[in-house]
Amino acid sequence: MLPHYSPLKVAETFSMFAGLFPDRIDLGVGRAAGTDPNTTFALQRDRRQASPDDFPAQLEELLGYLDGTLPAGHPFARLATLPGWPERPDPWLLGSSPQSGIWAAELGLPYAFADFINPSGADIARRYRQSFRPSRSASAPEVIAAVWAVCAETDAEAERLASSADMAFALLQMGRLVPVPPVEEALRFLEDDRARPKLFSRPRRRIVGAPATVRAGIEAAAREYAADEMMVVTITYEHAARRRSYELIAEEFGLVSSSSAAAAFAS
């Protein structure tokens, strides 16, 4: 989240990573300043006043460091010798709105869209592809769609585990930030009719179920976005359930053998 950092600091850090691990480092850059105004202000170093929204200028400066394209007259041009040269990370623009798609296309950046925030991103991704301008970062448009999913051995168990995130999301809609609650607490909350309107007040893609169910949901989203890659975000109360969800999804897509997944889960 670039508003929290100096572009030079980000460039130096990820340049070092790229130098240590060539062709393996992606740098995802986002604009979001925080979950709410109070969090945003708490994350600021200087709290005398709210920070300006200067993300486009920050992003331009960051790419100037990474690409070595800061103009000679730029006040920070002499600082552009990065520790990982000639290696560089691959920058991606993160987003969940039409504006982020416009910036990604104009700058020729690969684009990762947060479907778990805004499930209406297929048209944004399409317009990004149509308007894309090739650059040093990418010669053609690339899209990642990040979806929210919970996987378990059965559809019923997955729905049970997903109740924790459902409760947290519903309370967020009410302006209440809470830690992800235990399943039993979430189930009691969701049985309350007063929670139902907030739970469904904002459309959200839920990919929840057994491995085959989740695979079908992920593949449907991939087709909708014409995505080059898919990313999965999983929120559960227990870490073991979250880890197991990822293992089941990986196994369903043939990314790991069933024996390897079982051994990893047992450990």
The stretch 11-25 carries a mean pLDDT of: 97
The per-residue pLDDT for range 169-200, each reduced to its tens digit, is 888 877 788 999 999 999 999 887 665 655 65
The per-residue pLDDT for range 78-88, each reduced to its tens digit, is 877 899 999 99
Indicate the angle between helix axes 122-131 and 98-107, nearest 10 degrees: 20
Phi, psi of 80 (to 5 degrees): -85, 5
Q: Which comes out higher in pLDDT, residue 135 or 175?
A: 135
Widest Cα–Cα separation across the chain: 63
pLDDT surpasses 60 at 265: no
pLDDT class for 201, splitting at 50, 70, 90?
Answer: low
Q: Which comes out higher in pLDDT, residue 84 or 4?
A: 84
pLDDT surpasses 80 at 125: yes
What is the pLDDT at residue 183? 98
Map the chain to HEC letters: CHHHCCHHHHHHHHHHHHHHCCCCCEEEECCCCCCCHHHHHHHCCCCCCCCCCCHHHHHHHHHHHHHCCCCCCCCCHHHCCCCCCCCCCEEEEEECCHHHHHHHHHHCCCEEEECCCCCCCHHHHHHHHHHCCCCCCCCCCCEEEEEEEEECCCHHHHHHHHHHHHHHHHHHHCCCCCCCCCHHHHHHHHHCHHHHHHHCCCCCCCEEECHHHHHHHHHHHHHHHCCCEEEEECCCCCHHHHHHHHHHHHHHCCCCCHHHHHHHHHC
pLDDT surpasses 80 at 47: no
pTM (global) more than 0.85 = yes
CA–CA gap between residue 129 and residue 202 (Å, rounded):
27
What is the pLDDT at residue 198? 58
Listed residue (25, 174, 29) closest to 103, CA to CA: 29
Question: Dihedral through CA 205, CA 208, CA 214, CA 220, nearest 10?
Answer: -20
The stretch 110-120 carries a mean pLDDT of: 95
What is the pLDDT at residue 43? 75
pLDDT class for 224, splitting at 50, 70, 90?
Answer: very high
Asked which of 156-165, 196-205, 207-216 is least confident by mean pLDDT, the reply is 196-205
Of 59-73, 123-137, 190-204, give the range with the top mean pLDDT: 123-137
The stretch 31-54 carries a mean pLDDT of: 73
Which structure tokens are listed for 162? 């997903």
pLDDT class for 55, splitting at 50, 70, 90?
Answer: very high
CA–CA gap between residue 85 and residue 17 (Å, rounded):
11
The per-residue pLDDT for range 227-239, each reduced to its tens digit, is 999 999 999 999 9
What is the pLDDT at residue 258? 54
